[in-house]
Amino acid sequence: MIYTWNKSVAAVVALLYLVALYLVVFHFNPWFNATLYRHIAMQFPLLILLGCIAGYFLFRDHLESNSISIHFSVIFFFIGSLAFWMLPVSIDSAAINNKVDMLLSMNLWISGLLLASQFRKMPPELKFTFLFFLSSMIFITGAVLGQLNLLLCGAYTLLQQKILGTYLFKGGIVLLVFSVIYLGTKLARIKPEVLSI
Amino acid sequence: MKTKNHSSPQRYWVILPFVVLAAVIVVLVWRTQGFSAFTSYSYEFVKAKPIGKTVPEDLFILKDDSSRVELNSLGNHYTLVGIVYLKCHMVCPIINQRLHEIYRDLDLGSTDDENSNLEGIKPTPYNLQLMTLSFDYKRDSLSDLKAYKRIFFKDDNARNSDESATLRGRNWSFAVVEHSQESFIQQKLTQMGFWFYEYKSGMYNHSPYLYLIDPEGVIKQVYDPGKLSNRELIEQLKRDVL
């Protein structure tokens, strides 16, 4: 898509994008890593969002596919990546080891990129199932972390874990509401004869 | 990844989700040691499999009686070791409190007569001694250990309170690892399945385990005081020591 833009506009947007990526991955990384809720509730979504932006505006024309197999593969990769980096042992490793932290950033960025490059062509049922699953995963994790009095991530504190729990719980609910609205608008656009089939 | 409908290579894409799903499962199994370790504490523990292994060599400790011994040769008795650091105000005081309760409940400090001289301490009913071991060699000195021990064995009437505490708590020693390199200590303790991490503030987070070391220096059992009640812990301990 970006290829169709005015060259100077595209260059400015690309530059701004690179600056944003640098800020999230490098410059503010110590600040994000200082607390568990900044690391997961802020840095994770930002990395995925930046990946999504690249995937949608830069790579979609090359990667977009109608194949349901590829859609499922991307969803499995996305959910698997998120599950991996949500493991307390992975969170600790990323907090302690810079190389692991860079791997995390790269993995989440690529996950967002792949997801955004395929999302538009996914069937609405798959989109909704994915969003519903993702939001459920987030708010259940939030509910557990918010209530648990056991520190899971040794590189952080219990208070930070509880704060993260409340953020994830609220974030999960917001995402669920968004998913329902999204599905509603999609269904409203589908012609009645298609629905009856 | 542009695809054409009904072309023969298209068929091969069908297996892609299964391959990705299998890869995700393999990675998660590897990362969690077969879905058995989700936290850093349990991961290091499951990875090290310390039960039945000899305590690593060359890990010397300084005890509150000023003796210097190797952790794998603590004497002809079982030793229950709690690994802590004294400046901790979170888990370590709880671990020490649990050790104190074990000490009291197993009557490890019994004497013929509480008011008699301390030389009259009976042999322990169990062939067991306790040890609070600090891994924070940078900040925990011998005098700190002695002062900490006095909290549990305070005797206001004694002329020399240090000596009194050492004698009264002769079955509960306080010690600190002796080495000048943190990486060395980390490596040795990791071999025992013990994980610790230093915050920027200088505080540590670490595994809360209690290690039962037998007279041969083999780790006979590891208890998690966070998962066991005091009664359960003592019952298990009695079974393992007797």
Cβ separation of B13 and A66 shorter than 8 Å?
no
Q: What is the mean pLDDT of chain A?
A: 91
To the nearest whole angstrom, how far is the Cα of B22 from the nearest Cα of chain A?
Answer: 10
Is the pLDDT at B156 greater than 70? The verdict is no
Considering only the C-alpha atoms of chain A, give the largest distance between any 2 of them, rounded to a whole number of Å. 57
Is the pLDDT at B153 greater than 50? The verdict is yes
Chain B from 38 to 97: CB within 8 A of any A CB: 38-43
Cβ separation of A84 and B31 shorter than 8 Å?
yes
If we measure between CA atoms, which residue out of B119, B100, B112 comes closest to residue B172? B100
- Non-local CB neighbours of B97 within 8 Å, separated by 6+ positions: none
Cβ separation of B39 and A96 shorter than 8 Å?
no
- In the Cβ-directed half-sphere of B65, how many Cα atoms lie within 13 Å? 13
Helix, strand counts (H, E) of chain A: 11, 0
Between the alpha carbon of residue B107 and those of residues A59, B9, B63, B233, the distances in Å are: 71, 76, 22, 15
To the nearest whole angstrom, how far is the Cα of B66 from the nearest Cα of chain A?
Answer: 33
Contact B17/A at CB under 8 A = yes
Provide the 8-state DSSP code for B118: G
Q: Which residues on chain B are in Cβ contact (under 8 Å) with A152?
A: 38-39
Cβ separation of B39 and A155 shorter than 8 Å?
no
Structure confidence at residue B123 (pLDDT): 55
Q: Which residues on chain B are in Cβ contact (under 8 Å) with A63?
A: 1
Contact B35/A at CB under 8 A = no
Asked if B48 and B193 count as a contact pair (C-beta separation under 8 A), the reply is: yes
Contact B32/A at CB under 8 A = yes
If we measure between CA atoms, which residue out of A144, A149, A142, A188 comes closest to residue A166? A142
Environment class of B65 (CB within 10 Å of its CB; exposed 0-12, middle 13-18, buried 19+): middle
Taking only the tens place, the pLDDT of each residue in B200-240 is 888 888 999 999 999 999 999 999 988 888 889 999 998 99
How far apart (Å, rounded) are the C-alpha atoms in residues A78 and B159?
69
Taking only the tens place, the pLDDT of each residue in A121-168 is 999 889 989 999 999 999 999 999 999 988 899 899 899 999 999 999
If we measure between CA atoms, which residue out of B33, B34, B81 comes closest to residue B192? B81
- Burial code (b: 16+ CB inside 10 Å, e: under 16) for B160-198 equals ebeebbbbbbbbbbbbbbebeeeeebbebbbbbbbbbbb
Q: What share of chain B in percent tops pLDDT 70?
A: 83
- Non-local CB neighbours of B146 within 8 Å, separated by 6+ positions: B64, B162, B165, B166, B174
Structure confidence at residue B24 (pLDDT): 97
List B149's β-bridge partners, or say none.
none
Cβ separation of B38 and A88 shorter than 8 Å?
yes
Taking only the tens place, the pLDDT of each residue in B76-135 is 899 999 999 998 888 888 899 999 999 888 878 765 444 444 444 455 667 889 999 999
Asked if B118 and B111 count as a contact pair (C-beta separation under 8 A), the reply is: yes
Taking CA–CA distances from A30, the nearest residue in chain B reads B200
Cβ separation of A89 and B206 shorter than 8 Å?
no
List B221's β-bridge partners, or say none.
B212
Structure confidence at residue B116 (pLDDT): 44
Contact B12/A at CB under 8 A = no
Asked if B174 and B152 count as a contact pair (C-beta separation under 8 A), the reply is: no
Structure confidence at residue B46 (pLDDT): 94
Taking only the tens place, the pLDDT of each residue in B104-114 is 888 787 654 44
Over range B31-35, report the average pLDDT: 93
If we measure between CA atoms, which residue out of B67, B59, B60, B75 comes closest to residue B216? B75
Q: What angle do CA B45, B47, B52 make, to 5 degrees?
A: 70
Taking CA–CA distances from A88, the nearest residue in chain B reads B39
To the nearest whole angstrom, how far is the Cα of A36 from the nearest Cα of chain B?
Answer: 13
Taking only the tens place, the pLDDT of each residue in B14-28 is 899 999 999 999 999
A185 pLDDT band, cuts 50/70/90, is: confident
Beta strand segments in chain B, E? 60-63, 68-70, 78-84, 128-134, 172-177, 196-198, 204-206, 210-213, 219-223
Taking CA–CA distances from A150, the nearest residue in chain B reads B226
Taking CA–CA distances from A68, the nearest residue in chain B reads B14
Over range A92-119, report the average pLDDT: 95
